Amino acid sequence: MSEPLFNRIAIIGLGLIGGSFAAAARENGLARSIVAGSRSARTLEQGIALGVVDDGSQDLAEAVKGADLVFVSTPVSAMGKVLAALKPGLSRTAIVTDGGSVKGNVISAARQALGEHYSRFVPGHPIAGKEKSGVSAADATLYRDHRVILTPTDDTDPAATAKVRAIWTAMGAEVLQMSPQYHDQVLAETSHLPHLLAFSLVDTLARQGDSNEIFRYAAGGFRDFTRIASSDPVMWHDIFRENKAALLQALGLFSDGIDRFRDAVEKGDSDALMGIMTRANSARAHFMAMNGRTSYTRAQLGEDSIMTDSSKANPTYLMTPGGKLNGRIRVPGDKSMSHRSIMLGSLADGVTEVEGFLEGEDALATLQAFRDMGVVIEGPTNGQVTIHGVGLNGLKAPEKPLYMGNSGTSMRLLTGLLAGQAFDVELTGDASLSKRPMERVAKPLREMGAQITTGNEGRPPVRIRGGQPLKAIHYDLPMASAQVKSAVLLGGLYAEGETSVTEPAPTRDHTERMLGGFGYAVRRDGATSVVSGGGKLTACKLEVPADISSAAFFLVGASIAEGSDVTLPHVGINPTRTGVIDILKLMGADIRLENQRDAGGEPVADIVVKSAPLKGIVIPEALVPLAIDEFPAIFIAAACAEGDTILHGAEELRVKESDRIQVMADGLAALGVDHEVFDDGIRITGGAFGGGEVQSHGDHRIAMSFAMAALRANGPITIHDCANVATSFPGFAQLAGHAGLNLEVK
């Protein structure tokens, strides 16, 4: 049995919070003894009788004697007196921490009361509770999977902070750290203000003469919103007083918002009303996602929706070997086109209606960015989105940095589009996106006159200075990249003269096609695309086809699993995207395109694929740019093919969501697949392979590719870090399981 973190813990204030701290410390073996200090003899007797604490004292200085950790859980208004009372009993090395919900005044009180012991004080705030109160409600699991915020000051001993963090972590809490000032601001806006509003609303209605009738007919929304007005008035009285400055600031922001709402209602401004409500709707979904540690997509589906791969914080895929794929499988809408539909629809004059929009994390990041810049967007609802365009020059400055999540497409294309705006803007992303190169986009845009700075080593954040006149340029792409090409062309919409881009090899041309669909002239001459600045985008109706990148996993899975027969309807077969089909056919795959047709300027078809023996090939370099996103899946096909498959000319794979060459190689090695890594590619020798544990490094395509490998593996495969599958393929696990893949989400 491991040694406990502390020899003796003293709990001051044995209510729900303090009692649960004691119960959790006992259950997890975190202290040899636990004592309490309370002015109430009855509370102490009850705590001892329940086994929550071993002993207690009404003398607070006596209670903390010999304790190496003191947890103070008393009202914030009493914190100064309590700390002064216990101070004489503190040992020289004792750590003191608290559970108060306001930190500024608590820290001031601690500084004054503790004197030379102040450096051992670690301010904290557990975000947990329940409707019952008192020591009888003590719950050893109260803090499990809940957040605890620590707010150490510059004077706080880092070793003391580390010990406090350790005990909260051992209780199962997620420990965050922030400045005291930021803590009080955030809590004022997200907790204290809502309670104030609930108290105010109920009090306002209760003071009306007919309040009984009003309450009798109150609907569920009233009950839900005002439930928190049943909270302890004494506690909230103290909180409102102690956090006065931050609460008044939050109340001022809310008043400004109410004024905007009132103005929109008075004027009958439909767009303003819809803008407020759609932004609020999507923001709440995002808040729910963060609070529940789920994906944005899961929050959009609703709290009672079916559990899928995106409903867990960071799911693991457990794959049982064998199986086959059969049936008609409709994969999500094309991600590249979904991004561009939001961008161009927002800049168009009029209302654009989109069908088949991909409701995945990446495309939703683009959608949210334009909402943050004042565009009214309805939906998405079952793939339907309505965009109230503001014109090329109608975007408004966002009030905060635009968060792109994991989407490199969003960040790179928006950099081009925002280079010509009148306002400053900053683009940020998650940990994965923050490692990806952005100078390849910034460089040509600077040549056009844009003022753009990037972070360390040319990575995010990207900061764009507004109000810069842009001039047209001709740009020869140093490497084939649809994102860089698109960024320059979008910047060219705001530039004086003709902007042209020449690419060394064909890349996806969704931007050029969709600009034409919105009535903006694009001239194409061989490998060169040209736009003139100063034009106009006109709203239209768009139908987004199914994404061939998502279809690729099922193309490979059905090809390698004997007895498979799959139809993938309405898949985009843009010739700049069909490299995966061409490569698999060269390997011997049985793939047919049926019912070929046009949908909104993009060619689509139903793809039928049946299992077939595959053979290794040397992949033609001309096909590499046309299959750049699909290579993780192609690597799995190669592992199942007879002989060697050799890839060169794919350096771009090194700077995707992960280094896809190395990460795939590591995963193949874990399964026992013979391979050799090159700077620009890989050699894979196909044959039998086993199971193993694969680290996807948060790369959605890595995770889905190795899921398909289980169809031919000789043992189970465990795939870690699969949360980002929701960025491009929400519901993948459920759909793949229905088709015949033996996949369990943990």
Active site residues: 629
Bond into 380 cis (ω within 30)? yes
CA 678 to CA 700: how far, in whole Å?
A: 23
Tokens encoding 538? 């006109």
Positive or negative: CA dihedral 103, 104, 105, 106: positive
| Sheet-wide strand order for 31-37 | 55-57, 31-37, 6-12, 69-72, 95-98, 121-122
Contact 465, 454 (CB under 8 A): no
- Judging by DSSP bridges, how do beta strands 590-599 and 602-610 pair with one another? antiparallel
Residues 6+ apart with CB under 8 A from 195: 228, 229, 231, 236, 239
| Sheet-wide strand order for 425-428 | 402-403, 425-428, 462-465, 451-453
SS3 labels along 576-612: CCCHHHHHHHHCCCEEEEEEEEEECCEEEEEEEEECC
CB atoms within 10 A of CB 556: 31
Residue with tokens 């990806």: 436
The CA-based dihedral angle spanning residues 716, 721, 723, 727, taken in that order and rounded to the nearest 10 degrees: -100
Residue with tokens 């609930």: 198
SS3 labels along 244-309: HHHHHHHHHHHHHHHHHHHHHHHHCCHHHHHHHHHHHHHHHHHHHHHHHCCCHHHHHHCCCCCCCH
Alpha-carbon distance values, 549 to 46, 96, 281, 556, 571 (Å): 63, 55, 30, 11, 10
Residues 6+ apart with CB under 8 A from 727: 360, 361, 362, 405, 406, 407, 700
Q: Which amino acid is at 264?
A: A
Residues 6+ apart with CB under 8 A from 744: 317, 318, 319, 320
- Tell me phi and psi for residue 119, to 5 degrees: -65, -15
CA 249 to CA 229: how far, in whole Å?
A: 21
